[in-house]
Structure 1
């Protein structure tokens, strides 16, 4: 419960302040600028999330399963070296290829300029992501939560100060603000993590090879999965315009609130299932997966129903009336959200039980499927095509993941129904007890 509290707090701070910042920016920036800002976040998030998939999962797995201190230091040191090299490669790509990427996504040179301004943030992220992995490898989530919270708060303060003093507001300044906020978060995270650090670096070629061997598939899988989750915005930019991305980003921001528990659960479930796979067997892994998916659905279903019924109200509050064209996109996204818990947790579970190669190939197949479906839907349905394609891909992907989970852990849909119904029953019973106590008083 303690781990869940801090992890959900971390995800909540990310989504809450991200939403607040979005609400402010949506009323200050034009649709085109908002679209470019969304593309910037997509590129940087895909990189960082993919790198995290390579390093953090392997780091957490090998450190949490070892009782030898020297071995833990070697794993952490080797992980840091890989982290550094990958970040340098990404910076080199920005210098060489960002103009090409910006042009391909119909963002002129604005996206390229933002990425160049964000290079200090990429350097800070080397240390932030390393410290995050160290914390989680000791099953400590408090410092990670604090680090992310400080990042979000500082970014919000910088935006608010910019508006208050009526300073020049530009996309490049937003990229710089991101870098400053990451630096503040890194300092905060270090304060919580230094008790686990010995400040001795002993990277070993054998561990580097082992991490890449285990995490390499996760890295590729992460890239595929993160591109897949942002494919709607990327293809809308490519085949429609950069301004159309602002409408998809609006729906994504609201839809992201549904994913708070899901991503928090993934952080907690990974080390738990890794341990269960090693010491308790397949039945325990099956139970953890089914229980987690059912709990996530218990939160997702009522929220999704409300948003599907009142999309324009929600969009008006969050982004303003100029984004009402995103209403249908939001409704389609909410339907897709009902299928995501099973897929997200399934991919995470395969990695935790040492089947990253299978996860990689499934995500690769999913990306290929998503590209084809989204392209066809954009061709036939135009502006809303990417959202329609996302829903179709979510349904077909869930069916495929069902058979994979059925084969590898004996997954049963009936268990999800049972656990979800049990959760609602428990919540209803608890609510009645509270009401009865109040009536007695």
Structure 2
């Protein structure tokens, strides 16, 4: 218990404040880039950009699933004398997967261009291969730092990577210049390179690559990572499949219209992603120190804390969906208003399902998490296909809501059986936090 208390007082305050700052800046930069980009590009180019980013995100998240979680897990639990062997094996897996995915990107580019009736996608995918190779090293360095329960380098490198694109978009917008989608990809490449160099500088003294691979650790990383890889890939496919299907069944422009509503919902869920970043390495340690009860408490409290932040944002955004859409996408995207009102309801379930995967991966349940994700993706794809064909882009929003509702019920039943998690406890923690904030404010006022 003393160990857990020490971790709480140091780890959560330090990493929590850094992640809060990182995610606040990520929100600002992401929103700013989106806000000015949508005013710089016409509706067709913006729709093509949405489809492009949806596709490359699948590659990025798939690689992250195989590399990052397995590396963090074993570096957090293995003795220090094995760290260099683990990192060397992870680098080898990373490089191999990067080559395979880069080749697939090149080969599948013409298919995507034809599927979405957007031939300009082909050069974009080929340009992005350079960015993808560089970001593989960035992923490796950030995972090493997170395994050491440090987040400053992750914060700085992400700030550089995202800020570079924002700076370029601002330059184009305020100087009333025209830009191409290819130029945007090239700027992303330079930003990723700068972020990678900074991240390497900050972790370079913490490890040394060995000359030969340790087959034991190579096998361990692959054994753990294969399910995490599949889970991450399925999860990002699930989050992008609606936009991809809209692009194929309706149009690229419609994908851009739908993306506006989804992006607002994702911005509201920034606290969910921040919590997942902190919870994953902490959960692995809680399991060793306090067992299942400690992990159960961690899940309930982390979900409750996120819900406390989400409730006001969801309510306000729902009541003022019209002004929100007009502010973000100007008067060219009124079709996004009803979409936002539907997708915002889905936001309530995301903390539960997001932390489900995080907790399950951290306690060794990657296989079960993979199977749950595969089933949810298949269900999501089926619902999207049926509803989009009948209702167009509104059908995609309805499919999202139904998918999250079903996944929410399933994950809560699983966690109750494995850890004894109580769904109501998270809600209690959420509403208790309001009382604590009120009492503190009243105490200060007096």
Q: Same fold (TM over 0.5)?
A: yes
2:212 and 2:283 map into 1 onto residues whose CA distance is 29
* Pairing 1:131-210 to 2, within 5 Å after superposition: 131-164=141-174, 167-200=177-210, 202-210=212-220
1:234 and 1:316 map into 2 onto residues whose CA distance is 24
How far did residue 160 of structure 1 move?
2.5
CA contact (8 A) 1:218 1:356 kept: yes
Structure 2 residue matching 1:211: 3-state secondary structure: helix
1:165 and 1:15 map into 2 onto residues whose CA distance is 24
Any idea what the Cα deviations from partners look like across 1:215-271, whole Å, max 9, x if unmatched? 100100111111111222111111111110111111122112122111111111111
Q: Which moved more, 1:210-219 or 1:154-163?
A: 154-163
User: 1:54 and 2:56 equivalent?
Assistant: no
Aligned to 2:87: 76
2:178 and 2:213 map into 1 onto residues whose CA distance is 46
How far did residue 168 of structure 1 move?
4.5
Closer, same or farther: CA 309–167 of 1 in aligned 2, 3 Å: closer
Match of 1:92 among 100, 103, 110: 103
How far did residue 105 of structure 1 move?
2.5
Match of 2:387 among 362, 366, 377: 377
Closer, same or farther: CA 168–200 of 1 in aligned 2, 3 Å: farther
Question: TM-score, structure 1 length as denominator?
Answer: 0.95
CA contact (8 A) 1:73 1:201 kept: no
CA contact (8 A) 1:8 1:260 kept: no
User: 1:221 and 2:265 equivalent?
Assistant: no
CA contact (8 A) 1:15 1:256 kept: no
1:201 and 1:266 map into 2 onto residues whose CA distance is 34
Aligned to 2:241: 231
1:168 and 1:302 map into 2 onto residues whose CA distance is 39
Unaligned runs of 5+ in 2: 1-12
Aligned to 1:439: none
Unaligned runs of 5+ in 1: 437-441
Question: TM-score, structure 2 length as denominator?
Answer: 0.94
How far did residue 433 of structure 1 move?
2.2
Match of 2:425 among 415, 419, 422: 415
CA contact (8 A) 2:67 2:90 kept: yes
CA contact (8 A) 1:13 1:152 kept: no
Match of 2:57 among 39, 45, 56: 45
User: 1:13 and 2:25 equivalent?
Assistant: yes
CA contact (8 A) 2:88 2:209 kept: no
Structure 1 residue matching 2:78: 3-state secondary structure: coil
Structure 2 residue matching 1:33: 3-state secondary structure: helix
1:284 and 1:219 map into 2 onto residues whose CA distance is 26
Match of 2:114 among 103, 122, 137: 103
* Pairing 1:305-320 to 2, within 5 Å after superposition: 305-320=315-330
CA contact (8 A) 1:34 1:246 kept: yes
